Structure 1
Amino acid sequence: MDDNTQALPAPRNPNAKEDRHFVTALARGLDILACFRSGDRLLGNQELAERSKLPKSTVSRLTYTLTKLGYLDYVDHRAKYRLGSASLALGSAMLARMDVRQLARPLMQELADFSQGMVSLGMHDRLSMIYVENCRSQTALTLSLDVGSRIPVATTAMGRAYLAELDAPEREQLLDKIRLADEAAWEQAQQGIQQSLQEYQDLACCTSFGSWQKDVNAIAVAFKPGKGMAPVSINCGGPAFKLAPEFLLNEVRPRLLELVQRMRHSLGTHS
C-alpha cells in the first residue's frame, strides 16, 4: 500500500494575488520542499515540476536557491536533489517541541498491542495528514506506513476526525480546498465526510472502512493539545481481514477514547 499516491502540493490561496502580504516566491519554494514525501530519497527537477505543478524553468531556479541555502542537497552523479540539513533541522525542531508525542507513545503502543494493528498520531498539512508518531504490535501484520508518511484528509479516518474537530469556518475553508483539488471526486468525498461528521457526533470517532483503500479499515479521534496548536488525530487501523469494523467499534473504540481522554488530562486541556 503506497502512501505516495496523493498529489502535492495543495492548491495555493486563490486570493494570493490580491493579498499584498503574500510572498509568491516564498510559497513556491515551500511547495518544492513539500514535494518530498516519506520514502523519497532523490527527486529531479522534472519530478518536482510534475508534483508542484510549476514550470520546470521556475523549479530549476527554486532548487538552485534552496541548494545554496542548505534546504536541498544536489547529488551530482544522479542530477537530483534530496532534503538538506536545513530542512531536516526544521522538522526536528518541530517534533522536539511536541510534548504530545512523548505523552502519547506508551499509550499508543498499549493500544497497538491490544488491537494487533497500527496506532498513529498525525498532524494536518495541506490536503494530507502526516504521521508524526507510529506504534505497531510486535506480531501484527500492519500497513507499510511510518513517521513522515502522508495520507489524504478526505478519505481517511484520521483526516476526517481532524475535520470534525476543526471550528466550522476552518473546516469549510479546508473542504473548499479539497473540492478545488479534485472536482470529479468531490461528490463522493463529500458524502463520506458528511457521514463522518455525523459519526463524530454519535460515536465520538470517525471511521474509514475501505474508503481510502478498499482493504484497509481504521477509526480515529482528534483533539486539541493546547498551547495554540491545531488539532491532532490518533487512529487505529490495519488490513481489513485482521481488523473488522465490529472489532474496531466495539473493542478498540472505547480504548481509543480513553487514550485521548488521558492525553487531555495529561496536557491540561478540556474535553
Structure 2
Amino acid sequence: MDRPANIQLEPEAEGSESGAKEDRHFVTALARGLEVLACFRSGDKTLGNQEIAQRCGLPKSTVSRLTYTLTKLGYLIQLEDSGKYRLGTATLSLGSAMLAKLDVRAVARPLMQELADFSRAMVSLGARDRMSMIYVENCRSSSALTLSLDIGSRIPVAATAIGRAWLAAIPERERVEFMERVREFDETAWPETERGIRKALEDYRTLGVTCSFGDWQKDVNAIARAFNPGGGLPPMAINCGAPSFLLSKDFLLEEVRPRLIETVSRLEGMLAR
C-alpha cells in the first residue's frame, strides 16, 4: 500500500562539508561517520559500501574506512555471507534515549488516537531530519486499511502534508534556504515542487492545515498541522492520512480538519502547562 520515498542522497551531506571547512570546530571525520549511519532507512535491511558511498556522496575508499570503524564500535554489523552492513545494537542506545526523552509523544498519543479512531486513518507525529520528515509516533484506527508506515519511517518534506506543515511553521528565512536546497537537488522537478509548496502555504493561511491529495503517492490523501513543542525543540507536525478510497478529500477538509486543528490546539495547551 505505502511506498516510502527512496532518497539516495541527502543534499545537506554535500553542502554541509563545504561550509564546515570554514569552521575550525567542525570535525569532518565525525560528520562523515554520522552520515553513514543516517543513510540507513527504515526499509533497508543491509547496505554495501558502494550503496553507502552513493547515498553519502563520499568516495568508496573513505566509506570503507568509516564502516570498518563503525563496525568495531558496534554501530554497524557486517554480514559474513554478503559483506554488507546492517545497523548494530549500539545505535539502539542513541535512538531509544532520544525517544524516551521526547515527552511530547506521551502527551500527544491519546489525543492522536482519538483523531485516528474518528477518521479511521493513521495519525502521525513527525519531526524534520535533513530533507525528510521522520515519524516519532503513530496511532492507527481499528480499521485494517491504514498506511503501513512505522516509527522511524522517513517521507519527503516537499511533497507531503506533514512536511509542508513544517515548512509553513518555520521562519521565512529558514524556509527560503530549505527550498533552495530542494531546488538544487532536483532542478527538473522544482517548478512542480515549488507550486505544491506555495499552494500548501496558502492553504495553511486560509484553512489552517496543509494538504497532500495524491501529491506524494497518487493513492494517498492527508492533511497536517504544525506546532511548537517547546523545550527548545524545533517545530513538529501532526498528520492524518490514509488511502484515498478510504479517506476522501471532502471528508478530510470538512470533518477531519476542524478536529485536527482542535487536537493540535489542545496539545499545545497541555505542553505549555
Q: Which runs of 5+ in 1 are unaligned?
A: none
| Corresponding residue number in structure 1 for 2:4 | 3
Mapping for residues 116-135 of structure 1, pairs under 5 Å? 116-135=120-139
DSSP-derived class of the 2:21 partner? helix
DSSP-derived class of the 1:89 partner? helix
User: Alpha carbons of 1:99 and 1:204: their partners in 2 closer, same or farther (altered >3 Å)?
Assistant: same
Mapping for residues 64-143 of structure 1, pairs under 5 Å? 64-143=68-147
| Corresponding residue number in structure 1 for 2:48 | 44
Match of 1:157 among 129, 140, 161: 161
CA distance in 2, matches of 1:105, 1:10: 32
Match of 1:243 among 230, 240, 247: 247
Q: What are the Cα deviations for residues 41-65 of structure 1, in whole angstroms up to 9, with x where unaligned?
A: 2211122122222221111011011
The answer to whether residue 182 in structure 2 is matched with residue 178 in structure 1 is yes
CA distance in 1, matches of 2:144, 2:212: 20
Partners of 2:121 and 2:143 within 8 A in 1: no
CA shift, 1:238, in A, is 0.9
How many pairs align?
A: 269
Letter in 2 for 1:197: L
CA distance in 1, matches of 2:178, 2:26: 19
Letter in 2 for 1:44: G
Letter in 2 for 1:81: Y
DSSP-derived class of the 2:11 partner? coil
The answer to whether residue 22 in structure 2 is matched with residue 21 in structure 1 is no
CA distance in 1, matches of 2:240, 2:78: 38
The answer to whether residue 226 in structure 2 is matched with residue 225 in structure 1 is no
Stretch moving more, 153-162 or 86-95: 86-95
Q: What's the TM-score, normalizing by structure 2?
A: 0.94
Q: What are the Cα deviations for residues 210-244 of structure 1, in whole angstroms up to 9, with x where unaligned?
A: 11111111000010100110011100011111111
Match of 1:263 among 258, 267, 271: 267
Q: Which runs of 5+ in 2 are unaligned?
A: none
Q: What are the Cα deviations for residues 77-110 of structure 1, in whole angstroms up to 9, with x where unaligned?
A: 2311111222221111110011110111111111
CA distance in 2, matches of 1:148, 1:23: 27
CA shift, 1:4, in A, is 4.1
CA shift, 1:203, in A, is 1.0
CA distance in 1, matches of 2:6, 2:87: 20
Partners of 1:8 and 1:34 within 8 A in 2: no
CA distance in 2, matches of 1:4, 1:75: 26
CA distance in 2, matches of 1:260, 1:49: 40
Partners of 2:123 and 2:138 within 8 A in 1: yes
Q: Runs of 4 or more off by more than 3 Å in structure 1?
A: none
Partners of 2:8 and 2:54 within 8 A in 1: no
DSSP-derived class of the 1:184 partner? coil
Partners of 2:5 and 2:156 within 8 A in 1: no
DSSP-derived class of the 1:124 partner? strand
Report the aligned-residue RMSD.
1.4
Stretch moving more, 227-236 or 65-74: 65-74
Stretch moving more, 179-188 or 230-239: 179-188
The answer to whether residue 58 in structure 2 is matched with residue 54 in structure 1 is yes
| Corresponding residue number in structure 2 for 1:194 | 198
CA shift, 1:10, in A, is 2.9
CA shift, 1:199, in A, is 0.9
Q: What's the TM-score, normalizing by structure 1?
A: 0.95
CA shift, 1:20, in A, is 2.8
CA distance in 2, matches of 1:212, 1:23: 36
